[in-house]
Structure 1
């Protein structure tokens, strides 16, 4: 048993570290290496929220797909994560249709 555990740990230590990349449909692939990601289990709208504080980029998983929003202030993300209804907050303040293109990425 100890031998098997030691072998497993050695394999994990030797495994290359690969950053995660997600596809965002028409906005292309995004490397999440600089993002802090959280899996969301208290929302029926959002499944995952990833945020890059330095670049103010937000990536969210909704309905099984990812979308990127640029220029989102850290305070807005903090309010999203602390909202009683994350889905309602997202739909009213961040989603492209509600924000009038405010967080569109020019890429």
Structure 2
């Protein structure tokens, strides 16, 4: 059952464009979510929502009510994150942290313009 939920969630992340919504991203400001595929993440107490623009490799993540951004993230990393058994652990080890696949800090990677 858990695997089915993860599979459905991962496919929704890649196919559900946001109609018209703007969020305030820490260290960036206002971002229109129209080019992003977003999903809420009720299975995580830490990560509330994830939005990803595959074309730009740009991820927005809502951590306990605050949006943060990550730049030049390859689709394979995002897919692994979306299907991880613990999104919080994956985030801390591979995206936020200094793991071999990250970080994707927008201070050192190209920030897309919209």
Short-chain TM bin:
0.7 to 0.9
Aligned to 1:43: 44
Aligned to 2:7: none
RMSD: 1.7
C-alpha separation between the residues in 1 aligned to 2:26 and 2:82?
A: 24
Higher helix share: 1
Radius of gyration: which is bigger? 1
Return the offset for 1:99: 3.1
SS in 1 for 2:68: strand
C-alpha separation between the residues in 1 aligned to 2:24 and 2:60?
A: 10
SS in 1 for 2:80: helix
The reply on whether 1:90 has 2:114 as its aligned counterpart is: no
C-alpha separation between the residues in 2 aligned to 1:99 and 1:52?
A: 22
Return the offset for 1:25: 2.1
Q: TM-score, normalised by structure 2?
A: 0.71
Number of residue pairs aligned between Structure 1 and Structure 2 = 88
Q: TM-score, normalised by structure 1?
A: 0.75
Correspondence 1:2-13 to 2 at 5 A: none
Return the offset for 1:61: 0.3
Correspondence 1:49-60 to 2 at 5 A: 49-60=50-61
SS in 1 for 2:27: helix
Correspondence 1:1-40 to 2 at 5 A: 19-40=20-41
Structure 1, unaligned stretches of length 5 or more?
Answer: 1-17
CA contact under 8 A between 2:94 and 2:103: conserved in structure 1? Answer: no
Structure 2, unaligned stretches of length 5 or more?
Answer: 1-18
